[in-house]
């Protein structure tokens, strides 16, 4: 009954967002920073956890009666640690309710404040799901077992998945050249995927839609067909396209798969995709693709701007460099030196060196460049001539930054933990002796309130010099997942050119007594014959503080993208024996069957069912190199951490 009441409060939407944090869109993860600074006091005074579902995803489709996996990211944005159960739901719409079909459960493990856990939730093939379109949703703490700051933000619905038998073509990318002559040939790159449950060939049409009259029908400029695409397979096509006497102007390139609807798909409403903007005409088009400068400067600036001609005819234009107080370049900003003229053919790029004296107050500025500021050249596009780059500090003084920080991947809280960081002075003058503070942060951003681990001395650093600094301290924090961080000159004892770039966080550290399984390499062929067994090798290590409690399993996958999930195509599976702390083992998961032709990514996932309680639960996947199925040659490639 409590679950029904909870879901009833959520029935008005996918997620009822409270005052604490905004929500991502349907199927999207929520905000990267869970806390809002002005509300920290209210959160702290509650002395409660606040559990929410950041994201939920599943496969695009599944055969009726087949097992599948979904992925849920559960977070705690409160101030008290908690653990809870997550229910996986299937709903006919985005409004989760008590009548929705519960198809799986998972445990979050202990979530500390501002921490998240990624859960792989299995769904049994014995679960009866009617054919059709369903939304994958997740609900955390459905029984109100955890006292929370807000009880109305515990559910989220993801993107829909379809149960049935059939292909489902989806266009992932459409891209044409930025500019075209009114008449001529060009290539349009289209990525098409079959997210359905059976293989089938696909046909695509490429068109140009005039932006001045979007209601008009598009002008078809090319078409292509594929061989049968296997379920889950994507293919990149470079489609020959031809423009014939196009009126000058701006167009949008589009692709439509199965325009004649000759194939019966699981979904028919996802076959059109708009790509990039294309300008038609006979003029140059100058853009700044990048602008770079030193980290700091005094007296004279030397900047490099890369200028490209994205137009259809050759031309020349003047390039100017600037220093701006903000990330928006305007005419009153400080100009560095004189303008330099550059001549470029269509499609050509060239670096341009720009130098000049700088007479600005000390501080932080943005480097920037502007091509054809005077608009002396008639271009296809006049609004793309500026580029703002990175920060540069101006003046005489030091500027301390932490370029790296690391520690052991795991440790038990009462024991000492050793951390190492590299500190550099990227300013223009020596920095005096100062202090580096090592800290443990619950998130990837290092706040002043982060628990201190150790302090270490940073020696005198000349301009441009770095030093390796180490410290040892006791981790006086709760067991769980923490980021190792470092803060140079935390007390602002050194007057620097820039005071806001003194922190860095590194990798995560698992604190406590427990194992932590990770994959350090995935090896396999870069090419394989279609329908032949896949031979791969995976190295599994226990980087935790305790031996594993039971044997587990590692699964080899092929995926159409570089993000390995339990819902990807399973290629093989093998048992991983008991591993002591620090021990590794290499296994070769046997491939039960061959793979269909296409381009894939090879990857692996260990303990996908999360049977082993680990210090860190969401570091169990690793992606290897791309794999092409169908070529006769094969050789071994690998990906290593």
User: Among all chains, which residue has been given the structure tokens 């195509």?
Assistant: 569
pLDDT for position 12: 33
Neighbour tally for 53: CB within 10 Å: 26
Q: Which of 280, 309, 169, 270 shows the shortest CA–CA distance to 221? A: 280
Residues in the chain, pLDDT under 50: 1-2, 4-44, 631-641
| Domain residue limits, the chain | 2-163, 169-280, 286-391, 400-511, 517-640
The partner residues of 370 in beta bridges, in order of sequence, read: 320, 386
Structure tokens at 590: 């046997």
Q: Which of 85, 167, 160, 57 shows the shortest CA–CA distance to 566? A: 57
Question: What is the architecture, at CATH level 2, of domain 169-280?
Answer: Sandwich (2.60)
Question: How far apart are the C-alpha atoms of 227 and 553, rounded to whole Å?
Answer: 35
Question: Strands, DSSP E only, in 396-526?
Answer: 400-407, 410-411, 416-425, 434-441, 452-458, 466-474, 480-488, 503-511, 517-525
CB contact at 8 A, 571 and 509: no
CB contact at 8 A, 88 and 105: yes
607: left (phi over 0), alpha (psi -120 to 50) or beta: left
Distances, alpha carbon 209 to alpha carbons 129, 182, 203, 221, in Å: 41, 14, 19, 11
Is residue 216 packed enough to be buried (19+ CB in 10 Å), middle (13-18) or exposed (0-12)?
exposed
Angle formed at CA 338 by CA 335 and CA 342, multiple of 5 degrees: 115
Q: In what order do the strands lie in the sheet with 466-474?
A: 400-407, 416-425, 466-474
Q: Which fold has domain 2-163?
A: Immunoglobulin-like (2.60.40)
Neighbour tally for 38: CB within 10 Å: 7
CB contact at 8 A, 165 and 142: no
Q: In what order do the strands lie in the sheet with 68-76?
A: 51-57, 68-76, 115-123
341-378 tens-digit pLDDT: 999 999 999 999 999 999 999 999 999 999 999 999 99
pLDDT for position 628: 87
Strand pairing report for 249-257 and 203-210? antiparallel
DSSP letters, 586-609, are EE-PPPSS---SEEEEEEEEESTT
Phi then psi for 458, rounded to 5 degrees?
Answer: -105, 125
pLDDT for position 215: 60
CATH of 286-391, one of 3.30.70.120, 3.30.9.10, 2.60.40.10, 1.20.210.10: 2.60.40.10
Predicted TM-score (pTM) of this structure = 0.80
Distances, alpha carbon 161 to alpha carbons 135, 441, 560, in Å: 6, 37, 17
Q: Which of 145, 6, 5, 137 shows the shortest CA–CA distance to 74? A: 137
3-state secondary structure 299-319: CEEEEEEEEEECCCCCEEEEE
Question: How far apart are the C-alpha atoms of 61 and 253, rounded to whole Å?
Answer: 28
Structure tokens at 239: 């489609």
**Domain 517-640 coded CATH 3.30.1490.100:** no
Domain 2-163 and domain 400-511 have a common topology? yes
Contacting residues for 427 by C-beta, under 8 A, at least 6 apart: 295, 296, 393, 397, 398, 399, 400, 463, 496, 497
pLDDT for position 24: 37
pLDDT for position 42: 46
The partner residues of 368 in beta bridges, in order of sequence, read: 322, 388
pLDDT for position 609: 85
Structure tokens at 349: 């790029």
CB contact at 8 A, 115 and 76: yes
pLDDT for position 632: 44
Structure tokens at 297: 């400067």
CA Rg, the chain, in Å?
A: 28
Structure tokens at 316: 């020349």
pLDDT for position 36: 40
**Domain 400-511 coded CATH 2.60.40.10:** yes
pLDDT for position 477: 86
Distances, alpha carbon 423 to alpha carbons 248, 389, 524, in Å: 55, 23, 39
Distances, alpha carbon 121 to alpha carbons 86, 100, 560, in Å: 9, 17, 21
């Amino acid at each position: 009954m409590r679950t029904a009441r909870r879901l009833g409060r959520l029935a008005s939407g996918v997620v009822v967002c409270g005052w604490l944090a905004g929500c991502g869109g349907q199927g999207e993860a929520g905000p990267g920073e869970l806390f809002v600074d002005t509300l920290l006091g209210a959160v702290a005074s509650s002395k409660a956890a606040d559990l929410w579902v950041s994201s939920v995803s599943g496969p695009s489709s599944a055969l009726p009666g087949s097992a599948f996996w979904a992925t849920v990211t559960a977070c705690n944005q409160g101030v008290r640690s908690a653990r809870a159960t997550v229910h996986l739901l299937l709903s006919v719409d985005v409004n989760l309710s008590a009548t929705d079909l519960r198809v799986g459960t998972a445990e979050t493990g202990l979530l500390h404040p501002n921490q998240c856990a990624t859960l792989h939730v299995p769904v049994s093939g014995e679960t009866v799901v009617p054919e059709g379109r369903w939304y994958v949703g997740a609900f955390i703490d459905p029984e109100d077992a955890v006292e929370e700051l807000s009880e109305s933000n515990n559910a989220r619905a993801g993107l829909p998945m379809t149960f049935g038998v059939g292909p489902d073509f989806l266009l992932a990318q459409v891209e044409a050249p930025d500019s075209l002559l009114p008449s001529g040939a060009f290539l349009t790159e289209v990525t098409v995927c079959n997210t359905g449950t059976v293989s089938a060939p696909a046909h695509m049409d490429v068109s140009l839609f005039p932006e001045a009259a979007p209601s008009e029908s598009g002008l078809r400029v090319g078409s292509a067909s594929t061989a049968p695409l296997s379920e889950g397979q994507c293919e990149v096509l470079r489609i020959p396209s031809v423009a014939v006497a196009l009126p000058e102007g701006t167009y949008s390139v589009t692709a439509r798969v199965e325009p004649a609807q000759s194939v019966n798909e699981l979904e028919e409403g996802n076959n059109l995709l708009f790509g990039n903007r294309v300008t038609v005409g006979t003029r140059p088009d100058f853009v700044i693709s990048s602008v770079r400068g030193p980290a700091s400067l005094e007296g004279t600036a030397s900047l490099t701007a890369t200028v490209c001609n994205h137009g259809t005819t050759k031309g020349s234009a003047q390039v100017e460099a600037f220093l701006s107080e903000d990330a928006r370049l305007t005419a009153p900003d400080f100009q560095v030196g004189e303008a330099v003229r550059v001549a470029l053919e269509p499609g050509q790029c060239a670096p341009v060196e720009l130098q000049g004296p700088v007479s600005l107050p000390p501080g932080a500025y943005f480097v920037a460049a502007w091509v054809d500021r005077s608009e002396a050249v008639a271009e296809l596009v006049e609004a793309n001539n500026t580029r703002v780059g990175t920060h540069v500090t101006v003046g005489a003084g030091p500027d301390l930054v932490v370029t790296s920080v690391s520690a052991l991947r795991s440790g038990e809280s009462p024991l000492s933990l050793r951390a190492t960081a590299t500190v550099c002075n990227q300013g223009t003058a020596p920095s005096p002796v100062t202090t580096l503070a090592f800290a443990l942060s619950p998130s990837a951003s290092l706040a002043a309130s982060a628990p201190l681990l150790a302090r270490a001395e940073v020696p005198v650093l000349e301009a441009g010099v770095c030093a390796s600094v180490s410290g040892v301290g006791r981790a006086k924090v709760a067991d769980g997942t923490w980021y190792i961080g470092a803060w140079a000159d935390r007390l602002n004892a050194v007057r620097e050119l820039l005071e806001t770039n003194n922190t860095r966080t590194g990798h995560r550290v698992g604190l406590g007594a427990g194992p932590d399984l990770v994959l350090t390499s995935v090896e396999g062929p870069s090419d394989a014959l279609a329908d032949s067994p896949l031979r791969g090798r995976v190295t599994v290590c226990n980087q935790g503080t305790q031996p594993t409690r039971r044997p587990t399993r590692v699964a080899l996958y092929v995926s159409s993208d570089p993000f390995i999930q339990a819902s990807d195509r399973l290629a093989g599976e093998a048992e991983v024996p008991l591993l002591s702390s620090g021990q590794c083992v290499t296994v070769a998961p046997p491939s039960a069957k061959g793979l269909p032709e296409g381009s894939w990514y090879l990857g692996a996932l260990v303990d996908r069912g999360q049977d082993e309680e680990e210090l860190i639960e969401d570091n169990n996947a690793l992606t290897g190199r791309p794999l092409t199925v169908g070529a006769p040659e094969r050789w071994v490639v690998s990906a290593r951490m």
